[in-house]
Structures are given as C-alpha cells and as structure tokens.
A and B are shown apart, each in its own frame.
Chain A
Amino acid sequence: MSARAAGAPSLQGVARCGSRLGRIMRLMFTANGLMSYLFLYAPILVLVIFSFNASRFVTDWAGFSLRWYAKLFDDAAMMAALKNSLIVAFASTLVSTLFGTMTALAMERYEFFGKLGLDALLYLPIIIPEISMAVMLLLFFILARIPLGITTIIISHIAFNISFVTVVVRARLAGMDRQLEEAAQDLYANELKTFWRVTLPLMMPGILAGALMAFTLSLDDFVITFFTAGVGSTTLPLRIYSMVKLGITPEINAVSTVLIAASMTLVLFSLLLQRERRTEKVRNI
C-alpha cells in the first residue's frame, strides 16, 4: 500500500487478486527480466574474466594472471593506437562541445528563420546509418584530396559529435529555471554578466555531460574511423579489429576490458550529470 501512496502505478491491484494465473504471469515476467540482464552482462563478464586468464588459449581457464595486461604496455603498436585514440577523442570533444553548446543556446533561446531545417540537419548525423556516413566522408576526402589520417578522423568525429552535444545541452537548457537569469537582470547585471555568472554555471552539468558523451563516442567509434583513417592513424578500436581478424588472443580481452571500463566510467558520470532533472528520459535521443 505504501508504494501506491507514493503514487506508483504498480501491480498492487493484481497482487490483491492473487489468482494463480496472475502469480504465474508475474513469475514469468520476473524470470524474463532477470534473464535479460544476464544476457546483457554475460558477454562483458566473459571478456573480463578471460582477460585474467593465465592460459594462452582464450577460453581454457588456467588460473589468474595479469600477464596480458603487462603485455599491453610492451606492445608498441597498442600504445601508439592508445595515443591516437586519446588525441582524436580530446580534439573532437573540445571542438564539438564548444560548437554544440553554442548551437544549443541558439536553438533554445532564439527564434530565427530556418530553425526547423537546422533541427533536421542536426538530427541527421544521429539517424543515418554509420556505414553511410562513413562512406560519404571517405568519398568527400578523396575528392577534396585531403590525405586520410588523424586529421580526417578528427573532422569526422566532430561532425557526428556536434549533434550529440547539442541534444544533451539543449535538454539541460530546456529544463532550466529562467527566473534566476531574470533576477540577475533585475539586479542590474548586463546580458554578458548574466550569461557568465548565471546561465553558464547553470548549463555546466549539461555541457559536461555532453563532453563526456562526445569523448566516449569518439573513443569507441569504429565504423566511421575505419573508413576515414589512413596509414599510421590506427586508433584502439581499429587495432582491436585488426587483431580479431588475425585470430583471437587473450591480449584482445585485456585491451577490450580496459576500453569497457573506460567507457562505463565515462558514461556513468555523464548519465549522473544528466539525471538531475530528467530521470525519466535517461536517453532522449
């Protein structure tokens, strides 16, 4: 009863009836729910567990060992890929966060001609299949005679990250209380001062969440990077891919585990920052 008092539309009504059919149905729902979580986490657990396997045979357990992690640090190609990944992620996050935040401000605070069209243009990179975006960028770089390399990867990552940052920051702006800004202006702060002292600090959780999301998307991207990379600009996902194609090794499990841990941490932070107001719409894209 307490759950209902809190306004929770729960199955209390069904529970009250407590017929046999109802019990069986609830049991099946619970079983399906738990199995689904198992399905979602099992592959990740398998990866993590076998990354600590001492054996060189990937799925034969031979005791706990950190040797594959140690091997990662000795692998020059892997370290170069890590460096490239970080350069790309930092550069694309910096630019797309700045551009995306500015766009969000314009979209949320101003009325102008062509807003609807711009909205569509902003949603397109999120909607279209990655492979389509990848090949059109490749074709563009070839025709524009821009040599493929780390620059083209960064350009491409900015192109899809702007949209994601805009969506996240806009959500924050839309949920913001404008009374504080009005109060500041009532107290004779000019527009610029109001922006720096009130609007920007209030937007900050959204901007940070957007930046973290952009960083994760950039760090994790494979398809678009695969098509826009050149010689010597291999990122971590590309390195993992080429290793998988050559044959499964425990080292792949180790680097995969590192990547999963990194993106889980980043995303958790990003979601927590966004949560403040929008708990019901965790992923509003």
Chain B
Amino acid sequence: MISEQVARKTSLWELLRRRPGLQALVLLLPSLFWLIVFFAFPLLIVLVYSFLRRGPYGQIVWDFNLENYGRFLDPLYLKIFLRSFKIATLTTVFCFLFGYPMAYWMATRPRRWRNALLLLLMIPFWTNFLVRTYAWILILRDTGLINNVLMSVGLIRQPLPLFGNDFAIIVGLVYGWFPDMVLPCYAAIERLDFSLVEAAQDLYANELRAFARIIFPLSLPGVIAGSILVFIPSLGAYVTPDLLGGAKSVMIGNIIQNQFLTVRDYPFGSAISFALMTLMLIAALVYFRVGGRTL
C-alpha cells in the first residue's frame, strides 16, 4: 500500500520533472485563475454592458446598441471631456517645462550624486497619493497657507482663487505625476554621448545651440514616453479633481463615479470607462513602441 503510494507520488513528480510545459502551467495557474476571474472577466462585463441600456426602473435592458457611445456628444458630457483633455494637456506641458530641465540637471550631476537625487525624486512619489493631494488643500484654499501669508503681509485683500478650480487640479496633477516625466527624460539624457556636445562646441556652437540641436533631439524618445506617462493618469484622474476641483471642476473620472454610485446608470458608466481604457491602451502601445519599456 505504502509503496504503491510512494510509487504514485514519484511518478507524478517524475511526470512534472520531465515536462517543463506542465511545470510552467502549475506555476501560472493561480495567477491565471485570479486575473481571468477578477480582471479579464470584469473587463468583458464592462464591455458588454457598454452596449446595453438602462430601463426606466434602473434594470438592464438587453438590446445591443451604440446609444451610450452616442451620448458622449451630449453637450453636457462633451464639455467635461474637453475640459479633461485640456487639463491633462496643460498638466503634461507644465510637467515637461519643469521636468525636462530637472532631468537634464540630474543627469549632468557627478555620478555619485545621481542615485541619491533619483531616490529623493522617487520617495514622495511612492507615498499615499490621497494624503499628498489633501496637503494641497491646506496650501491652496482661501484660508490656506499661501492666502494667509499673502494677506498678512498685506499684498492682497481678497484671497486669491487658488482652490476649487482647474488651476488647483493642474497643480495637484503636476505634483502627482512630475516624477513620471522626469524619469524617462533622465534615462534618455543620461545615456547620451556627451562628447557630441564637446564636438559641437569645438565647432563653435554655443551652449544653447548645442542643447537645442543635439541634446534635446536625441532625448526626444524620453520626452514622448514621459508625456504619455503623465497624460494618461491625468486624463483618468479621479481623486485630484474630487478633492481639489470642487463641484465646479469635474473630470471624466468623476462622471464615471457619478454614473456608478449616484445615477446607477451602469451601461453609460461602462461606456465612458471603456472608452477611457481604450485611449490608455493606444497610448501604452505608443509608449512601448517608443521604447519606454527600456527606459
């Protein structure tokens, strides 16, 4: 009996040993199960739901149509989509304007400093996003730090409108995704061959010209990768507009939340969510194309 069990066990082990394909399957099974049931399947549900319709009593009506996607053109939603694109674009531009010189500066420090500078950049990035966004309320609101200081100094009489608008959202988003711009730019600049710059200078190009003609064009893949990494999460932002934008400044993420938790129009919410995901996927493909993965 016992020897039979041992024999069976050994043969099972032998089988596993001889067949690498089986080993890989055993290793993958748990994750595969989890990702299919709790990720791929929900994704499919959202896709199917986006073509359905909500009935008058909140029930789901099974007639396939493109109505939900047509509703994107409703001026009410169109306005919010356009605002989201505007905010995400401005966020990307500001991240670039400050992030690229930052990356250049970091990449041109002595080697022994660079890792410390990178670490210093990463640390805030990995701390709680909600909490860091909340901190901006303390700084920007009417009775916040900036307005308090400016008013007590006597520079202004009325608090500046820094909070509860697009400006506050952009500040919060730039703050949140700044390292995502700096890191790819840094990686692109750091691997540049700086002897090219010296060659240009030997040929009497001044610093500005050497920078504009050599360094910047060569680091462009990093800039593109960084822009995608900033634009994507900015467009899909939810916490930042919710906390800093107030009732007036709403973005795509807030409509999705509204459809699911307040209006309970799951099909329409699914359609917006799916459209957002598709945009992200296209951007991600571009990112990998540009070589973002190796950066």
Contacts and interface: CB of A to CB of B under 8 A. Distances in A.
Nearest to A45: B135
Contacts of B269: 135
B222 interface: no
B206 A21 contact: yes
B49 A156 contact: no
A46 B207 contact: no
Given A19-B206, A102-B27, A131-B256, A162 B45 contact: no
B138 A33 contact: no
19 contacts: A10-B109, A13-B194, A36-B99, A40-B179, A42-B139, A44-B132, A103-B28, A124-B43, A129-B238, A130-B236, A131-B256, A132-B256, A132-B277, A155-B38, A240-B131, A263-B126, A271-B119, A279-B115, A282-B115
Contact of B34 (A3, A159, A260): A159
A70 interface: no
B236 A159 contact: no
B118 A282 contact: yes
B1 interface: no
Interface of B: 17, 20-21, 23-25, 27-28, 30-32, 34-35, 38-43, 45-46, 49, 98-99, 101-102, 104-106, 108-111, 115, 118-124, 126-132, 134-139, 141, 143-145, 148, 175, 178-179, 182-183, 187, 190, 192-195, 197-198, 201, 206-208, 210-211, 232-233, 235-236, 238-239, 243, 253, 256-257, 260-261, 266, 269-270, 273-274, 276-277, 280-281, 284
B101 A33 contact: yes
Count chain B CB atoms within 10 A of each CB in A17, A59, A130 and give the residue with the most.
A59
Contacts of B109: 10
Interface stretch (A22-30, A74-82, A177-185, A198-206): A22-30
Given A3-B110, A110-B23, A191-B17, A9 B238 contact: no
Contacts of B260: 135, 138-139, 227
Given A40-B124, A135-B260, A240 B232 contact: no
Interface of A: 3, 6-11, 13-14, 17, 19, 21-22, 25, 28-30, 32-33, 35-37, 39-44, 46-47, 50, 58-59, 98-100, 102-103, 105-106, 110, 112, 118, 121-125, 127-133, 135-140, 143, 155-156, 158-159, 162, 166, 191, 216, 219-220, 222-223, 227, 237, 240-241, 244, 248, 252-253, 256, 259-260, 263-264, 267-268, 271, 275, 279-283
Given A14-B197, A135-B269, A256-B131, A124 B148 contact: no
A279 B115 CA distance: 7
B201 A256 contact: no
Contacts of A216: 126
Nearest to A236: B128
Contacts of B274: 132
B213 to A, nearest CB: 14
Given A13-B201, A59-B138, A129-B253, A162 B238 contact: no
